[in-house]
Amino acid sequence: PLRDTDADGDTAAGDANTGAPGAKPGGAPSEWAAGGAATGLTVLVTGATGYIGGGILHILREAGIDVLAGVRSTASLPAGATVLLTGDLTGSGLKLPPMEAVIHAAGLGHRRGVATETWRRANVDAAVNLARAAREAGAKRFILISTAHVHGRVHQGMVTDTTPPNPMDAYAESKLQAEHDVAAAFGPGLCIIRPVAVIGPGCPGNIQLLLKLLARGIPLPFGAVQNRRSFIARDDLARIVRAALQAPAMPESMLAAHWETISTPDLIRALAQGLGTEARLPACPPHILAAASAMLGRSAMWQSLSGDFVANPAAARAMDWEPAASLAETFQETARYYNTTT
pLDDT for position 294:
94
pLDDT in tens, 255-277: 999 999 999 999 999 999 999 99
- Residue 36 has a CB neighbour count (10 Å cut-off) of 12
Alpha-carbon distance of 70 to 49, in angstroms, equals 8
Alpha-carbon distance of 149 to 154, in angstroms, equals 9
Alpha-carbon distance of 141 to 138, in angstroms, equals 9
DSSP one-letter code for 168: -
pLDDT for position 85:
87
Burial class (CB in 10 A: 0-12, 13-18, 19+), 79: middle
Q: Are strands 43-46 and 190-195 parallel, antiparallel or unpaired?
A: unpaired
Phi and psi angles of residue 144, each rounded to the nearest 5 degrees, phi first: -100, 120
Q: What is the mean pLDDT of residues 33-50?
A: 66
DSSP one-letter code for 28: P
Q: How confident is the model at residue 21 (pLDDT cuts 50, 70, 90)?
A: very low
Question: 9: helix, coil or strand?
Answer: coil
pLDDT for position 112:
75
Containing H/E element for 290?
helix 286-295
More confident residue, 24 or 106: 106
- Cβ 305 vs Cβ 292: under 8 Å: no
Alpha-carbon distance of 1 to 314, in angstroms, equals 34
Q: What is the mean pLDDT of residues 128-132?
A: 97
Question: 32: helix, coil or strand?
Answer: strand
Q: What is the mean pLDDT of residues 282-297?
A: 95
- Cβ 114 vs Cβ 171: under 8 Å: yes
- Cβ 22 vs Cβ 56: under 8 Å: no
Residue 6 pLDDT greater than 90, yes or no = no
Contacts of 260 (CB under 8 A, 6+ apart): 323, 326, 327
Residue 75 pLDDT greater than 50, yes or no = yes
pLDDT in tens, 306-328: 999 999 999 999 999 999 999 99
Closest Cα to residue 289, out of 280, 275, 301?
301
pLDDT in tens, 172-230: 999 999 999 999 999 999 999 999 999 999 998 889 999 999 999 999 999 999 999 99
Per-residue burial over 223-255, b = 16 or more CB atoms within 10 Å of its CB, e = otherwise: bbbebebbbbbbbbbbbbbbbbbeeeebbebbb
Residue 4 pLDDT greater than 80, yes or no = no
Q: Amino acid identity, residue 143?
A: I
pLDDT for position 205:
86
- Cβ 86 vs Cβ 53: under 8 Å: no
pLDDT for position 91:
85
pLDDT in tens, 76-117: 676 778 899 888 899 888 999 999 999 999 998 877 788 889
Average pLDDT, the chain: 87
Residue 17 pLDDT greater than 50, yes or no = no
DSSP one-letter code for 106: E
pLDDT for position 291:
96
Q: Is the dihedral of CA 207, 8, 198, 121 positive or negative?
A: negative
Cα torsion at 310, 316, 320, 324 (round to 10°)?
-60
Task: Tell me what percent of the residues of the chain surpass a pLDDT of 90.
Answer: 75
Q: How confident is the model at residue 39 (pLDDT cuts 50, 70, 90)?
A: very low
Q: Which segments within the chain are labelled E, that is strand? A: 3-4, 30-33, 43-46, 67-71, 82-85, 101-104, 106-107, 141-145, 158-159, 190-195, 197-199, 231-233, 253-256, 310-311
Radius of gyration in angstroms for the set of CA atoms belonging to the chain, rounded to a whole number: 19
pLDDT for position 16:
28
Burial class (CB in 10 A: 0-12, 13-18, 19+), 115: exposed
**Cα distances (angstroms) measured from residue 123 to each of 115, 154, 333:** 12, 22, 31
